Amino acid sequence: MRTSTSPSLLLVAAVAAGLAVNVLLQAAYGSLPPLPLLAGLTPLVLGIAELVLAVVLRARIRRRPGARPVDALATARAVALAKASSLAGALVGGAWLGVLAYVLPLRDSVDAAGADTASAIVGVVGSAVLVGAGLWLEHSLRTPDDPRSDDPHDSAWGRS
């Protein structure tokens, strides 16, 4: 049974969010306030925190020298965090892509669209980092004897 996050699920979520936001912007862009430039930094910060968590947990799961074992409940919580983060990042990233698709053609004719383009780019980059971090965290939580593991030296806790 495959339990890892499916890239196709993330793609469908991103496309759906992007289309919905784009349609909403077509209906109400003129009445919205300008988007803050740093609005997309939140997913970026969360993604960086998850990358750090992935590095720490990967060392502990692989039982690197000096690393404490990982509690099973903590691992389960980290898996839930990883799955939720990758999906949330895909949804938010899709929404920012919907904004970008709407404002990019307008940036030369509408002053607010130029500033909103920069905001959308920051949001897309931050969301991409969150998706990548969530997927990496999920990958890092695989046990060393997992047959889907890509490192042949990790089989059976380091025994070959």
Single out the residue of 145, 114, 34, 24 nearest to residue 154, CA to CA. Answer: 145
* Contact of 5 with 83, CB cutoff 8 Å: yes
* Contact of 58 with 146, CB cutoff 8 Å: no
Task: Give the pLDDT of residue 30.
Answer: 87
Q: Which residue is listed with tokens 């496309």?
A: 15
- DSSP assignment, residue 101? H
Segment 11-51, tens digit of pLDDT: 999 999 999 999 999 999 989 899 998 988 999 999 999 99
Task: Give the pLDDT of residue 16.
Answer: 98
Burial profile 93-128: b = 16 or more Cβ within 10 angstroms, e = fewer: bbbbbbbbebbeebeeeeebbebbbebbbbbbbbbb
Question: What is this structure's pTM?
Answer: 0.84
Low-confidence residues of the chain: pLDDT under 50: 1-2, 153-160
* Contact of 87 with 7, CB cutoff 8 Å: no
Q: Which residue is listed with tokens 């053609």?
A: 105
Burial class (CB in 10 A: 0-12, 13-18, 19+), 132: middle
* Contact of 81 with 89, CB cutoff 8 Å: no
